[in-house]
A and B are shown apart, each in its own frame.
Chain A
């Protein structure tokens, strides 16, 4: 299946992907509104700025997702290869934040449900981090991984 992959050799650490990710999941039509009108949505992709390296990290949609197995509410499922959190069932205990080995689950801004990358399946259908990376450091491709 198609997944998001990063290429740290190409990443400049501009954090644009974070803005586009947060915007895509904000429900707003214009980016400035998403960030300047108090909502300040949390991105589900995070750019790490290490010693001389930069790269973006988001959910790996694991074969054996620890977040899903450990979820105390049964709120996380894997549908067609995409690990998803049901906000109606999530109580915001953050056992998934405790469990994800890659630190890819983000506490929700409301203090309740947790959020994560769902490959933009709930909005545009095309991962916006990929679409808007100006350096080609994030790609959406099929590398032969199973759904």
Chain B
């Protein structure tokens, strides 16, 4: 079989790519290959499914007719095992060869489970990344079950929030000395930890597991914890094997140029959690595994694959998430001068450097109109051209010069 465009992966970056291609090329054949058998769904919504807030149908990231409307052939439940970039084909596990003119690697990431002694003796152990994980957990979870979660990051805590609806007795452990270290600083992390503890969760921080024995864990500090269900959410690793097989340049993730074209090979692009981005707030290259990034990179890749010109040159981390009703919105890097408001639950921290907003942490009531701050980072706005004092007090368009505001209010992005 041969296609003009082949996309490996079926999440946000794939959707963006399809949308980007179809903006200009309405006819070129497109195939999506994914080892998951499901219609395109939102991965972060698995916690909402476990909680019972959404059904599998409501998790659809794009409408039910998405593939049909965009004239896309799907090969779902099929695993791609290698890419031959010279002869331009993808080899599937079944032995089938899918030829391509242009290929997108949107292979995402996989859970990283560090080697832990005795882990193989644990029966009910799960990761928490995809649809099948939540379905597997649903099969075994019972009201009041004892749950041990290893990892106090976004994934582990979203799993915990969902399982609270089963009245589970939960303990979360992490090697780090605080929760959500990837998005919160020490102060805000403590506020969130207390908020979550008020909902009955127990944290054991600065500790890791020494060994497992069936339904018992022994921690490095000697504590023994028994559990019915173990969830490991220590971290993720990019899926780069296909890129490597194709001869693409891979470091911590797949390396691309600003058009999302892979380095070291031709006719192959990459987007999403498997790729490395240049973070405009730190000046460093790293994996920014967030959905908006994945969609935008996929869109840019798709546009370029179809012959249009597009670049993705404003990557930075940003997250909007809530736990047990306390919302946080964060972006960028937390370095530079800090403007702070903090009443113990509603927090605003704005970090500016070289007359630019470089990052922020907003919590509780302070999340309102956060996007005005995000735009200052995205557009690298010179803060001397706006009333920054007014912006610190509250995100508002009144802080912009009249001309700029007129442009905004009379149009839009």
Contacts and interface: CB of A to CB of B under 8 A. Distances in A.
Interface string A93-121: 11111111111011100011000000000
B296 interface: yes
B327 A94 contact: yes
B412 A102 contact: yes
B396 A48 contact: yes
B265 interface: no
Interface in A112-134: 112
A60 interface: yes
Interface string B369-413: 111101100100000000100100001111100000100111111
A54 B412 CA distance: 19
A64 to B, nearest CB: 6
Nearest to A49: B398
B44 interface: yes
A69 interface: yes
Interface string B32-43: 000000000010
B116 interface: no
Contacts, number: 139
B51 to A, nearest CB: 9
Contact of A102 (B48, B291, B371): B371
B61 A62 contact: no
A61 B412 contact: yes
A72 B45 contact: yes
Interface stretch (B67-75, B172-180, B250-258, B314-322): B314-322
A93 B320 contact: yes
Contacts of B318: 98-99
Interface residues of A, number: 46
A106 to B, nearest CB: 8
Contacts of B59: 73
Nearest to A4: B409
B274 interface: no
B369 A91 contact: no
A73 B408 contact: no
A99 B408 contact: no
B147 interface: no
B334 to A, nearest CB: 16
Interface in A1-34: 5-6, 8
A94 B368 CA distance: 10
B224 interface: no
B44 A102 contact: no
A72 B320 CA distance: 10
Contact of A99 (B53, B371, B395): B371
A69 B296 contact: yes
Given A5-B409, A74-B60, A102 B397 contact: yes
B17 interface: no
Considering residues A62, A99, A143, which has the most beta carbons from chain B within 10 angstroms of its beta carbon? A99
Given A63-B413, A72-B44, A100 B54 contact: no
B398 A53 contact: yes
Contacts of A62: 412-413
Nearest to A88: B58
Interface string A34-51: 000000000000101111
B7 interface: no
A66 B413 contact: yes
A103 B395 contact: yes
Contacts of B295: 69-70
B120 to A, nearest CB: 34
B325 interface: yes
Contacts of B48: 91
Contact of B320 (A49, A65, A98): A98
Contacts of A96: 320, 371
Contacts of A63: 412-413
Nearest to A77: B63
Given A60-B412, A74-B62, A93-B44, A48 B397 contact: yes
Interface of B: 12, 15-16, 42, 44-45, 48, 53-54, 58-63, 291-292, 295-296, 299, 318-322, 325, 327, 329, 331, 367-372, 374-375, 378, 387, 390, 395-399, 405, 408-413
Given A95-B292, A98-B319, 16 more contacts: A8-B409, A55-B397, A57-B409, A69-B16, A69-B299, A72-B45, A97-B320, A98-B320, A98-B331, A98-B367, A99-B318, A99-B371, A102-B408, A105-B371, A107-B327, A145-B411
29 contacts: A8-B405, A53-B398, A57-B409, A60-B412, A63-B413, A66-B371, A70-B292, A70-B295, A72-B42, A72-B292, A74-B15, A74-B61, A74-B63, A88-B58, A89-B60, A91-B48, A91-B54, A93-B44, A94-B367, A95-B291, A95-B292, A97-B368, A98-B320, A101-B374, A101-B413, A103-B370, A103-B371, A103-B396, A111-B325
Q: Which 3 A-B pairs have the closest CB atoms?
A: A60-B412, A103-B369, A50-B398
